[in-house]
Amino acid sequence: MSKPIPKSHILKIPPYEAGISQLPKKKKIIKLSSNESPYGAGNKVTKAYIAALAKLNRYPDSNCDKLKKAIAKKFSLDYKSIVCSNGSDELITLIAKSFAGAGDEILCTEHGFSYYRIAAIAAGANTKIAKEVNCSVNVDNILKQVTKRTKIIFLANPGNPTGTYIALGEIKKLCDQLPKKILLVLDGAYAEFVDKNDYDPGIRLVKKYSNVIMIRTFSKIYGLSGLRLGWAYCSTEVSKILNRVRNPFNVNTAAQEAGIAALKDTKFIKKIAEKNIKLRNWVVSRLQARSLFIYPSVTNFILIRFPNDRKRNANATNKFLVRNGIILRKVDEYNLKNCLRLTIGRKIEMKTVVTKLERFLKN
């Protein structure tokens, strides 16, 4: 019997595994699996979102003019070099299919965001992996993997699910040695959480190197995961290409209005960043006291490595937490054995999780 046959490379795409959000027979759960903001959106965003409801019968601004101007003003950028998207994952897809195809190579790091590989395969390209060192990006290892077929390098900074970051000087080294025909995509999804002087999400690099793209999201510190809103900053030549291939109305009205309001709510965002650092440090110190290894994180999550003891390893710990209505993120798909990723939630959530973990590990 005949049936529609997809392109052969499409069947090679591994389904993306999102963080679990529900548990059977559990009415109350503590979800710490998706790196979402536990604080939601600010009051300014809520008001803007409600006001946008009156415009639902009209198509959204296809060019996201007001939003792009707000982003340009906030970060001192060239308006023409900004591309808005339905989440930053749309940008990853657009970049891959616009600049790579059959026979080309897209380079990712060992523990980089899994969607990079999905986008690469969907574009028909081959993926190459650069080894990390202690769950941190290594520029020399990236450069060793570059070939004549390399078209794109996807680099999350900070990394997900590792939480580690690479300093500006190292990325400059990569840019200086990288052939100019290769696109370097810097994913700064967690940039707002970083408090390191030697970190740059990509703004200075895009201004200096025409082959660098920075992508950002409103899903993390801004608390707009449910609206799907992202943006890119790149050369005007690249922005024209991305605008050519994106859907004409890819960002809905509510998302645009909420994004504009979120950018203005600086006090709210600053408060969240400060809370995150304080709580993250507290959680890390408590868990380290129980001899757990915590990878150094600059984000709103931590990567925990558990003992090899069968009764206290990551799998056993995860089962215990699930029984208690607590959801962390398994990271087996990232080849991170015996590890779990924990999102930094509210103070009461963190106290509950830490107490449960301490009791479990003690027993």
What tens digit of pLDDT does each residue of 37-91 get? 999 999 999 999 999 999 999 999 999 999 999 999 999 999 999 999 999 999 9
| 243 & 302 share domain | no
Q: What is the DSSP string of 195-232?
A: --TT---SHHHHHH-TTEEEEEESSSTT--GGG--EEE
- Dihedral-angle region of residue 291 (phi above 0 means left; psi in -120 to 50 means alpha; beta otherwise): left
285 and 172 both lie in a single domain: no
Residues 107 and 183 in one domain: yes
Domain containing 224: what range? 43-264
Residue 21: what pLDDT? Answer: 60
Residues 115 and 91 in one domain: yes
CA dihedral 18, 24, 29, 31 (to 10 degrees): -10
54 and 91, same domain (yes or no): yes
Give pLDDT tens digits for 88-117: 999 999 999 999 999 999 999 999 999 999
- Domain contains 354: yes
In-domain check, residue 31: no
Mean pLDDT of 130-153: 98
pLDDT digits (tens, 9 = 90+) for 285-311: 999 999 999 999 999 999 999 999 999
* CA angle at 217 for the pair 86 and 257, rounded to the nearest 5°: 65
Domain stops at, among 211, 238, 264? 264
Asked whether residue 94 is assigned to any structural domain, the reply reads yes
Q: What distance in Å separates the CA atoms of residue 86 and residue 8, rounded to the nearest whole number?
A: 27
Strands (E) in 36-161, as ranges, are 82-85, 105-109, 126-130, 150-156
DSSP β-bridge partners for residue 233: 82, 214
Does 325 lie in the same domain as 253?
A: no
Same domain for 278 and 136: no
Picking from 115, 113, 188, 107, the residue whose alpha carbon sits closest to that of residue 142 is 107
pLDDT for 274 beyond 80 = yes
* Amino acid identity at 42: G
Last residue of a domain, one of 211, 229, 264: 264
User: Which of 206, 235, 264 lies at the terminal end of a domain, its last residue?
Assistant: 264
In this prediction, residues 254-271 reach a mean pLDDT of 97
| Whether residues 84 and 199 fall in one domain | yes
Entry pTM: 0.93
Domain count within the chain: 2
Q: Are residues 112 and 191 in the same domain?
A: yes
Examine the domain organization and report whether 241 and 347 are in the same domain.
no
CATH of the domain at 320: 3.90.1150.10
CATH number at residue 84: 3.40.640.10
What integer best gives the mean pLDDT of the chain? 95
Residue 167, pLDDT score: 98
User: How many Å separate Cα 286 from the centre of its chain?
Assistant: 26
CA triple 185-187-189, angle to 5 deg: 165
- Residue identified by tokens 């536990």 is 38
Q: For residue 19, what pLDDT is reported?
A: 61
Residue 152 has pLDDT above 80, yes or no: yes
Q: What is the pLDDT of residues 19-32, one digit of tens each?
A: 666 666 666 899 99
Q: d(Cα 213, Cα 81) in Å, to the nearest integer?
A: 10
Above pLDDT 70, what percent of the chain? 96
